[in-house]
Amino acid sequence: MEERLQKILSQGGVASRREAERLISAGRVAVNGEVVTELGSKADPAKDRITLDGKPVSVGGTRYYILLNKPVGYVTTLKDPGGRPIVTDLLKGVGARVFPVGRLDYNTEGLLLLTNDGEWANRLAHPRHEVDKEYLVRVRGRVNPEQLQRLSGGLELDDGPTAPAQVRSQRESDNNTWLSITIHEGRYRQVRRMCEAVGLTVVRLRRIRYGALKLGELKPGEFRLLTGAEVAELVRPCGDGRGRPVRPVRR
């Protein structure tokens, strides 16, 4: 049965549907040897040969749900034209191609989810879930009460107003202040742009929580499988619900 290409790519563990659309538009997807760039194009995964960058895409297979402590100096794209390291280089021993759920920029570190379950990632990224994401932010100098109020009340950025955020001052010195900033949106470089909008310079940015998931004791570059309860808690579509590490599951 024919289905939209972005859905097939998502089910094949290549990317979320949104990212799959970008891959198609970029001319990286082909059906039976012919490059397809038109969104909405369809194919039959049972009959057609679908490839990404020349490599076959198959629907089904083993599903992985991974929490990684991303270090600074890695990109969260599947491919980098500049040759910079990508986060999947860190996943030694994972026998599948996985992709990030959302992004952390090159100079941001901390909690990053990766999976090859495109439908799970798509549900998790949907705005209706409003998953809290907490960041520890070190900014230069002291932060005054007006700046804290503006950060927490919502700001007008170049792509529209932000939703209210939870902002707390953690500790400060004459040179730096550590802030906890919790948002539920996922815009490009949002926390950095929020700080810039109130005149703060970010020195270090680390995501420490995603929903109920915490970074814990993982060192930069280390990763672990999510438990069944953790997978279920985020979007409640799967997982064994008993708090055990999820074994890669065959579908």
Point out which residues pair with 78 in neighbouring strands: none
31-34 CB contacts, 8 Å cutoff, 24+ apart: 31/5
Q: What does the CA dihedral 161, 163, 168, 171 come to, rounded to 10 degrees?
A: -40
Active-site residue flag, 105: yes
Residue 47: partners with Cβ closer than 8 Å, 6 or more residues away:
none
User: Given phi > 0 = left and psi -120 to 50 = alpha, else beta, which region is 86?
Assistant: beta
Q: Quick check: helix, strand or coil at residue 121?
A: helix
List the structure tokens of 118. 């495109």
- Tell me, what amino acid is at 176? N
Three-state DSSP at 100 gives strand
Residue carrying structure tokens 């491919």: 79
**Close Cβ partners of 81 (under 8 Å, ≥ 6 residues apart):** none
Q: Which residues of 151-182 are buried (b: 16+ CB within 10 A; e: fewer)?
A: bbeebebeeeebeebebeeeeeeeebbbbbbb
Question: What gap in Å lies between CA 74 and CA 71, rounded to an integer?
Answer: 7
Catalytic entry in 44, 48, 105, 132: 105
Which residues are part of the catalytic machinery? 105
